A and B are shown apart, each in its own frame.
Chain A
C-alpha cells in the first residue's frame, strides 16, 4: 500500500535552533498537510499545500510541496519550548481524493 516515509523519527534540539523534517513517498499526491499533536490532544493543522512547488509559511513554520509531488518538508525556525510535540505529515492520493495517508510522525523535544 501507499506509505509516507517521515524522518527523522525524533529530534532533540536546543532552544533557538532551526528544525527540518520531511516526508517522502514513491507515490504522487495532490495535497500535503502538516499537523502538530500535543500530548493528550488531537492533531492541529499547521500548513496545507495544494500545488507542486508551493512554499507556504505560518509564522516560524515553512513547508513546501515537492516539485515531483512525492515529497514535502517542514521547517521550524528559532525553536521555542512550546514547539515540543509530534509532527505528522499527511497526503491525499492524486488518483483518489478520499484516502488520507499519514506519516509515522516526528517527535520533537526542545531543551530550554
Chain B
C-alpha cells in the first residue's frame, strides 16, 4: 500500500498559471525527492531534501521550487507554468541512514501536468 500521496493526479492548466503539486508521506522518512519523467522515458531528479528546512537542486535544471517545512510534506511549485513544463512529476521518499531499507525509494503515484 502506498504511504506516499501525491495530488493532484492529473492537472490541465493554461500558460502563466501558478501551480503546486502536493506530496505527503506518512512513513516519517527524512529524505524526499522530486523526479520529472516524460512518458516511457528515464527519471530525472529535479529536487531533493534531507530534512526539514533542507532543499537542494537535482541533476536536471528545473524552474520549479520546493519547500520542506514539515517532515511529511514536500510540495513543488511552478510560479508560471509553460507548455515545456508538461510532464509527469514523481515524488519519492526514503528513511535516513541506519534505518531498515535506507536505500530504497518509495514512490507516489505521480502527478501528470499538462500546460496548454
Contacts and interface: CB of A to CB of B under 8 A. Distances in A.
Given A40-B110, A42-B109, A86 B40 contact: yes
A31 B90 contact: no
Given A86-B40, A88-B43, A102-B43, A97 B106 contact: no
Instruction: Give chain B's interface secondary structure class.
Output: loop
A102 B59 CA distance: 12
Interface in B55-103: 90, 92, 97, 101, 103
Contacts of B109: 40-42
A44 to B, nearest CB: 7
A74 interface: no
Interface of A: 31, 33, 35, 40-45, 48, 50, 86, 88, 90, 92, 97, 100, 102-105, 107
Interface of B: 6, 40-43, 45, 90, 92, 97, 101, 103-110, 112
Question: Nearest 10 pairs between A and B by C-beta?
Answer: A42-B107, A31-B103, A104-B42, A42-B110, A102-B43, A43-B107, A42-B109, A42-B90, A42-B108, A41-B109
